[in-house]
Amino acid sequence: MNIIIILILISLSIALVFLTIFIWNMKSGQYDDTETPSIRMLFDDKPKKKK
């Protein structure tokens, strides 16, 4: 049954990794604005006209 201890530790650490990623995302401001990026990605850059 020792395997269950290892499994539990692995599952706990994976969960911790996800928690850390979430906290990281939050602090880097990914959830601050959920609307504009969806619009921004649709803008095309026009090739610059030669004058």
Return the residue of 12, 14, 24, 30 that touches another protein, per CB under 8 A. Answer: 12
Rule CB under 8 A: say whether 50 interacts with another protein.
no
Binning the chain into helix, strand and coil, the percentages to the nearest 5 are 60, 0, 40
Rule CB under 8 A: say whether 19 interacts with another protein.
yes
C-alpha 1/C-alpha 11 separation (Å) is: 16
C-alpha 36/C-alpha 48 separation (Å) is: 25
Give me the residues that bind another protein (CB under 8 A), please: 1, 4-5, 8, 12, 15-16, 19, 22-23, 26-27, 32-36, 39-40, 42-43, 46, 48-49
